[in-house]
Amino acid sequence: MQRRKFIGKAALASLASIVGADIVYGSKMSPNYIPLALQDPDPFKMFNKDKDMVVLNDKPWNMEAQAHLLDDRVTPNKYIFVRNNGLIPEEIDVKNWTLTIDGESVKQKKTYTLEELKSKFKQHTYQLTLECGGNGRSEFDPPAKGNQWTIGAVYCASWTGVRLRDVLEDVGIKDDAVYFGYHAADIHLSRDPSKEPISRGAPMAKALQDETILAFKMNGEDIPLTHGYPLRVIAGGWPASVSGKWLQRISIRNIVHDGTKMTGTAYRVPCKPVAPGEKVADEDMCIIESMPVKSLITYPKSGATISKGKKLNIRGHAWAGELEVAKMEYSIDFGSTWKTCKLEKPVNRLAWQHFSAEVDFPQEGYYEVWAKATDSNGFAQPMLLPGWNPKGYLNNACHRIAVKIA
């Protein structure tokens, strides 16, 4: 008679963290059993998210904020969007967690424990903006397949970790290195262990930037499980998919990394403008790198009613991928005229910038307040939807809120 197998301690601890309490008799569960609490889960409780967050998908989990939820200068966890490509890891053994650096372009393969990373290399903290490449996808016409993000798949958190550059210098990188790729512990939706849900990366120039870090803290605490605990790559200013969660391995490549969601149309846009709905060959698609200039009005919430004669104080954030935002403006006449906002410098490179303005309205009635950012190269947000692309990426149209003067 075959002995019954029980769930391991690491898996049990992971399940308990999701449920939010110790599973008292969890050691007696079969490894294939899913507790009832997770069979119809409450994602707000499970991920410690605000009830006003919007769930877009549960297989895998994807949820976004609304503009007014992102008013904080540094985004708290409860308002940070969730973008998963596979299943959250079920077994996380922090004491034995390691990171391996390998690939064609390393002088020697090397493995580090979490404690070695924390103690051997200097730690750095940066505020870094992460935005999903598909943020704003819901506005594209013809519709683009994928999660129908509106405006809430962006945030700026404080990340603490060690520079990837310092670790790579310790490993030794060959002169032919052109790209890095990450490999993680998340599980493919099919549960096929031979398949990776996602394995993306970036050119070595991005890997070697000061702000590209191997992070183990978010907002001063351990990274929450759904955001990559216990180790994550953070590459601010580029699509958030470059910032791989649950990091276990980094491969240094002598070619452009060809992992899952690095080829075909994934996180790529047409190299040249195309007509809406036009089919584009894979070889005519270019990898998204720096995100475009963009802004968000976070106060007041759209639909606000203001008494006649009172001024409206608006505020929000602006960001521009690898660049800095140079100018911030608002309009109340559908873009016919623009007035300048007060714009703060970023706390550090790749952090979003805060803007504010005092708005006057000439008479009673309905208005829309539009926000427009211009980057340090002189490129401004388009007033409406930018060029169509098959996957609905890079929508940086002006954000706007409705206001009624009564």
Q: Pairing mode, if any, of strands 247-253 and 98-102?
A: parallel
| 278 lies in the same domain as 381 | no
Q: How many other C-beta atoms lie within 10 A of the C-beta of residue 302?
A: 15
Residues 265 and 322 in one domain: no
| The last residue of a domain, from among 287, 321, 336 | 287
Q: Please say whether the beta carbons of 269 and 137 come within 8 A.
A: no
Q: What is the CATH number of the domain that holds 318?
A: 2.60.40.650
Position 346 scores a pLDDT of: 98
- With tokens 């119809």, the residue in question is 40
Q: Are residues 234 and 325 in the same domain?
A: no
Could you list the residue range(s) of the whole structural domain that residue 392 is in? 294-405
Task: Transcribe 290-338 into DSSP letters.
Answer: SPPPEEEEEES-TTEEE-TT--EEEEEEEEBTTB-EEEEEEESSTTSS-
* 102 and 227 share one domain: yes
| pLDDT on residue 4 | 45
Q: Is residue 53 part of a domain?
A: no
Tell me: do 144 and 250 sit in the same domain: yes
Length of the chain in residues, anyone? 406
Q: Are residues 308 and 373 in the same domain?
A: yes
Tell me how far apart the alpha carbons of residues 226 and 95 are, in angstroms, rounded to a whole number.
Answer: 19
Return the structure tokens found at 97.
């967690």
- Per the domain annotation, does 114 fall within a domain? yes
319 and 348 assigned to the same domain: yes
Same domain, 117 and 231: yes
Structural domains counted in the chain:
3
Inside any domain, residue 247: yes
- Cα(200)–Cα(162) distance, rounded to whole angstroms? 20
Alpha helix locations (H) across 79-184? 114-120, 164-171
Among 272, 287, 302, the domain-final residue is 287
| CATH, residue 165 | 3.90.420.10
pTM listed for this prediction: 0.90
- Decide if 89 is inside a domain: no
Residues 113 and 202 in one domain: yes
Gap between the Cα atoms of 384 and 381, Å rounded? 8
CB atoms within 10 A of CB 192: 9
Q: Which of 142, 397, 379, 392 is nearest to 268 (CA)?
A: 392
Domain match, 267 and 324 both: no
Please report, in tens digits, the pLDDT of each residue of the chain (406 residues total).
344 455 667 677 767 766 667 888 878 887 667 677 666 678 898 899 999 999 999 889 999 999 999 999 999 999 999 999 999 998 899 999 999 999 999 999 999 999 999 999 999 999 999 999 999 999 999 999 999 999 999 999 999 999 999 999 999 999 999 999 999 999 999 999 999 999 999 999 999 999 999 999 999 999 999 999 999 999 999 999 999 999 999 999 999 999 999 999 999 999 999 999 999 999 999 999 999 999 999 999 999 999 998 999 999 999 999 999 999 999 999 999 999 999 999 999 999 999 999 999 999 999 999 999 999 999 999 999 998 999 999 999 999 999 999 9
Whether residue 258 is contained in a domain is answered as yes
Residue finishing a domain among 251, 267, 287? 287
Whether 364 and 387 share a structural domain: yes
Residue 159 lies in a domain: yes
- Going through 179-324 in order, the beta strands assigned E by DSSP cover 179-184, 201-203, 213-218, 221-222, 232-234, 247-253, 268-270, 285-287, 294-299, 304-306, 312-319
Q: What are phi and psi of 296, to 5 degrees?
A: -150, 125
Q: Is 61 helix (H, G, I), strand (E, B) or coil?
A: strand
Q: Flag whether 45 is in a domain.
A: no
Regarding whether 317 and 282 lie in a shared domain, the answer is no
User: How many CA atoms within 13 Å lie on the side-chain side of 116?
Assistant: 12
